Structure formats: C-alpha cells, structure tokens
Chains A and B, each alone.
Chain A
C-alpha cells in the first residue's frame, strides 16, 4: 500500500483552503472594524474550532450519522445565508443591524458569542463530515494513512494559502462589511461544500428536495383531503399535469427562485435606494458628486452578492443538466410462492436486492397478479412494499434520483421514508428479512392488495 492516498489528501487540501480563505476574509473585515481584540479572538477560534470538530471522530460511522452531518452542512449553509441576508437588508436600508441594537446588547460578550456561532456554523459541519469520511476510509484500510494524508494536506494548504494571500487580503478591507463577510463564508461553503470530494455541490439538490416535498404536501394533500374518498374524477392524465408541480423540473426552477430572488431584491433596493446628502454640502455639483461616491461604494459592496448570484446560477445550471434523469421502472419479475409465502434471495446471479435499485416482483395469488417491490433504504436496511398506495389506482412506482414516484399522481416519495404507511406512501409489507432472503406471507400480500383493489375507505389498513 502506498503512503500517499489521493482522496484524503485532496479532502485535506480542500478543507485547509476553505479555512484559510475564510479566515482571511474575516480578518479583512475585522481590520476594517479596527477592533484589535476581535482579531485576536478570531485567531483563537480558527485554532479551536478545527480541534473541536475532531471530537466527531468519537462518533460511530453509520449511515445515520453521515446523513445527519450532511443535513447539518446544508442547514449551516442556510443559516449563514439567512444571517447575511438579514444584515444585507439592514445595510440596504442604510442602517447597521448591530448599530440598531447596539445600545442594548452589543458588547464584548455578545460580539464574541456571535463570532463563535458564525465560526461554528462555518467550520464544524464541513470539517467533521470530511473527518468522518476519512475515518471510514481509515477503518477500511485499517491504517492511519488516510488521516495522516488529510492532516498533512490540511496544514500545507491552510498555511501556504494564508501566507500567500495575507497581504492581498488587506485590500479587501473596504469591500467587506459584515453581511459581505457572512455571504462569503456561505459562498465558500457552497463551493467547497459536501462532505466528500470536490464535485459534491449539494446545495441545489437539497433545496430542491425540500421544495419538492413542500409543494407536494400542500398541493397533493389538499386534493386528497378534498376528494372523499379517493380520486374518482381525476384521471392519470390530469394528475400528470398536476404532478408537474411537484416534479423535479418545477422544484429545480423554484430552488433557483428561492436562492436568487432575495439577493436580487437586495441588490435592487440597495443600489436604488435614495442617497441622503448631508447638510453642509451646498453646491449642486458637490451634492451630485457625493451621491456618486455613495453609489460607487454601494456597487463595490454589492460585488460579493453578485458573485454569489453568479455562483448560484452556475451551480444551478450544472445541476440542471445532471438532473434530467429518466425514471427507472423495471418489469416485475414473476416469483412463485411455496408454503404460503414468497421467498426472495437477497443475492442471486444478476440481481442483488441491496444494490439501491428498486426490485419489482409479481406473484399470482388466486388468479390475481399482485405486484410488490423490495428496495434498500439510505440507511442500508431493506424494505418491502406493495407497488401501490392507499389512494391512487395501482399504477405502481418508478425510481428517480433518491425517491420513488407514483406513476399515477406523480408524487415523489423519499426512499428513506419507505415503510411509513398512509396517504401516498406505498403500502408497507410485513416481511421477514434474514441474512439470505426476504420472506413475505401470501396472506399479507393478498389482504393488502385486496384493499387496494376495492378501496373501502381511506383509513389506514390494519397492520
């Protein structure tokens, strides 16, 4: 085994670069503030926070922790972004949020608390995510090599970037106020985001997924509640139109809208808000000149915002091309029941239930073709469901990127949430899952399928 391992090394480089660039920006801001002690405090933080994030190594590496970490990466980005928006707006309105609050609460304690929070939001999730990922590699290889690679690269990139850019960053002083500073932090998270490699730009998809769920919950649930008992009037074609609303496309555009519009609104109101000329300036030309200067300054300060907007669009554009995934809808494989149950081996030539794809089966019970599927959830466990839900005619589900989608009403269902019953969820099946196979009783299949066929009511089936 070679000493050099590319992946941990690159991760280390990335994290080091993120940290040192972020620190340089913060430093530029604090230099502009001219509060020496805050600068010292930030230096302290930049040492302490990475060490703190090392604590995550005591966590067990399970899909669950990993998904929590990547969630917290997303949320911390969101918080930084929202914070910077708040400050941007107060700047656009010509006031300083701290300035407004200052007589009451801005003192050394609150300022340092603010810095700790912002710093923690920036450093902890990303770094612990990367560390955990490297930990899985280290466990796999049963050596400390990956850690050493990462640490080395981290140190090299952090220090070299810091000393390379240190002097240049001092020119930024007039450019970054607090909102710009926070926005740049969010920007760095966005570019270097994700818990793994360089390519994982996780912002747009996560916003997109959230939006997809939100619209679906609002639109679809309203319909379902209004239409008692089921979908008697709305046919597949109609649903296909309504379903467009909670498809990938709409949420993709919406995610652009949600991220882009607040910034755009800020820039517009910031650049167009009238300039108050102070009393002492009398000559009209001097007044105009003053206005021009203020506007130039505003334009300069809007530069990070423009950058961020451009990045969102680029990120979105890159994502847009990837996301045109076709739905995967395999033919159900016929299986035969023995001893009143179906037994499906977890691994057979050409087929492995744990490969992440949806595996559909059909079984003949009393002349009835009952369809069901088995799929691996994100946490690694297998789940078996009928290929139908309680609400729609049983047209079945197809698989998209990270979700199943009902072919009747186009509702996306998060794969991790499979196994929940009710509403648009595919009806979960009680199954005995062993190391080698998945066993489902015919009675279970038949009883639940009968319900799908007849649809007595929308109340949930007894499990």
Chain B
C-alpha cells in the first residue's frame, strides 16, 4: 500500500527550476534513500512531501490526502500527527535542555509529558544527557535528540534531510544503526536525503536524482 504518492511534481524558483516533473510512489514501512549531487532538488522534494513548501505544479498524496488542498493551518495539524522531521542542522532550541526540546514536540502535538520524553531519550541512548543543553551535546548526540523528537508523536513517516551531513563516520554509523533499530520496532516509513553513498547502505530502496529529475530508482535486497 502506498503511503506517499507524487505525481509530475514541478517546483520553479525565480532563478531556476528545482524540480522538473517528479513521479514517485513510496510504500508504507519502506526505508527510501534519495541521493544526488548538491542542488539536484532533494531538499525541495522532501519539503514538499512534508508540507513545508508548496509545489508549482503536480500533486502530492500523503496517506491518501492531497496535501496541496490543505490550508496552512490544516497542514500544520497534518504534520503534527503524521510526520517527523530530522534536519541536517539539528535546529534544537538553545535555551531548553534535551528533554524539554522533546517535550516541545509533544506540546504542539497534544500535551507535554516529561516521563515519556525521558523514556524516548533513553531509547536513543541519551539517558545520561537528559538535562543537557544542546550546546553541551556533541553533534551525534544532538542528532539523536532530534530523532527522539521526530519520533515522539509516533509519526507514520520520518523525513530526514541529510541527518548525518555534519557527522563523522562513527557517529554516522551509530545514528543510522539507531534509526534502523527504531524502524524495525515501529515500522514507520523513512525517506532520507543524502549525498553520501555510505548512508544509502541502510536503505531498502535508493533513488538517484539529478537536475530536478529522478534518474534511477532501485530496490536493494537484504
């Protein structure tokens, strides 16, 4: 069953076209990697799927909903209930500690619940960093906080835009191992953008983009 369906998607900026007709279907529970050189339109595609941006043309169905038809506020509600984001820059609030950063996501979803937030941080291996500020955490730890925050509301889709872009090899592996474990436990769908071929080793399906188009789309078995 498809959870994301993109039909002839276009996105034009005043300077150039970022997406020139993208068609894509992603199945529920799949781990998909999107790889391509910088400027190939990966982020744009991901943002449009997540409802952070509007396409110039084309349609996006997420869980059967045509998200272009939603108003800005309806999109927000849709995001809080269905989608978790992880960005390359961790985008943590600097004056809140790790737990509170996770609780912020709970707050916008429904109610903050400290115990649950702490549990989530323990699951990503940060049980000893609960009350640390982002500035007191390493890059890998920050990214793990972001993963905990993205998954705290049990989304069915995780959209990650170069989550390991700022990490070294060991940290990259740790983060990806962690994500694989959580993915196996909770069966959410992963769409991960990267320009690092190493990261695609974790994916079940790899999509290559160039110049605003998909050029290859292959499933990796095992």
- A–B touching in complex (CB under 8 Å): yes
Q: Which residues of A contact B (CB under 8 A)?
A: 283-286, 288-289, 291-292, 295
CA separation between A284 and B110, bound complex, in Å? 11
Q: Is B106 an interface residue (CB 8 A)?
A: yes
Distance between A340 CB and nearest chain B CB, rounded to angstroms? 86
- On whether the beta carbons of B113 and A284 are closer than 8 Å, the reply is yes
| Complex: chain A residue closest to B111, CB-CB | A288
19 A-B pairs within 8 Å (CB atoms) are namely: A284-B113, A284-B116, A284-B154, A285-B109, A285-B110, A285-B152, A285-B153, A285-B154, A286-B154, A288-B106, A288-B109, A288-B110, A288-B113, A289-B109, A289-B110, A291-B110, A291-B111, A292-B110, A295-B111
CA distance A295 to B112 in the complex (A): 13
By a beta-carbon cutoff of 8 Å, the part of chain B in contact with chain A is 81, 106, 109-111, 113, 116, 152-154
| Most chain A beta carbons < 10 A, residue from B81, B110, B113, B116 | B110
Which residues from chain B contact A291 at a C-beta distance below 8 Å? Answer: 110-111
* A-B pairs with beta carbons under 8 A, tally: 24
How far, in Å, is B77 (CB) from chain A's closest CB? 11
Distance (whole angstroms) from the CB of B33 to the closest CB of chain A: 26
Query: Which residues of chain A have C-beta atoms less than 8 A from B152's C-beta?
Result: 285
A289 to B: closest C-beta gap in Å = 5
Residues of B within 8 A of A285 (CB): 109-110, 152-154
Distance between A358 CB and nearest chain B CB, rounded to angstroms: 63
- Nearest opposing residue in chain B for A288, CB measure: B110
**Pairs A-B, 4 closest by C-beta atoms:** A292-B110, A288-B110, A285-B154, A285-B153
Q: Determine the distance from Cα of A394 to Cα of B113 in the docked complex, in whole angstroms.
A: 69
10 extra interface residue pairs, beta carbon distance < 8 Å, beyond A284-B113, A288-B110: A283-B154, A284-B116, A288-B106, A288-B111, A288-B113, A289-B81, A289-B109, A289-B110, A291-B111, A295-B111
Contacts of B116 in A (CB 8 A): 284, 288
Shortest beta-carbon distance, B41 to chain A, in Å?
A: 32
A283–B109 CA distance with the chains assembled, in angstroms: 13
Q: How far is the CA of A291 from the CA of B110 in the complex (A)?
A: 8
Chain A residues near B106: list those with CB within 8 A. 288
Cβ contacts under 8 Å, A283 to chain B = 154
A292 to B107, CA, bound (A): 10
Rounded to whole Å, the gap between the CB of B82 and the closest CB of chain A is: 11
A295 to chain B, nearest CB (A): 8
> What separation, in Å, do the CA atoms of A292 and B81 have in the docked complex?
13
Of the listed residues A286, A289, A291, A292, the one surrounded by the most CB atoms of chain B closer than 10 A to its CB is A289
Smallest Cβ-Cβ distance to A284: which chain B residue: B116
> How many Å from the CB of A240 to the closest CB on chain B?
54
Which residues from B are CB-within-8-Å of A289? 81, 109-110
Q: How far is the CB of A284 from chain B (nearest CB, A)?
A: 5
Contact B111 A292 (CB under 8 A): yes
Task: Report chain B residues within 8 Å CB of A286.
Answer: 154
Q: Within the complex, what minimum Cβ distance (angstroms) separates B153 from chain A?
A: 4
For residue A151, give the distance in angstroms from its CB to the closest CB of chain B. 50
Q: How far is the CB of A142 from chain B (nearest CB, A)?
A: 65
Query: Min CB distance, B145 to chain A, in Å?
Result: 18
Complex: how many Å from CA A295 to CA B152? 21
With CB as the reference atom, state the residue of chain B lying closest to A293.
B110
In the bound assembly, the distance between CA atoms of A164 and B178 in angstroms comes to 62
Complex CA–CA separation, A291 to B113 (angstroms)? 11
Residues from chain A with a CB closer than 8 A to the CB of B154 are: 283-286
The complex places the Cα of A289 from the Cα of B111 at a distance, in Å, of 7
How far does the Cβ of B122 sit from chain A's closest Cβ, in whole Å? 14
Question: Which chain A residues border B109 with CB–CB below 8 Å?
Answer: 285, 288-289
- In the assembled complex, which residues on chain A have CB atoms less than 8 Å from the CB atom of B111? 288, 291-292, 295
Which residues from B are CB-within-8-Å of A284?
Answer: 113, 116, 154
Question: What's the Cα separation between A285 and B112 when bound, in Å?
Answer: 10
Contacts of A295 in B (CB 8 A): 111
CA distance A288 to B120 in the complex (A): 15
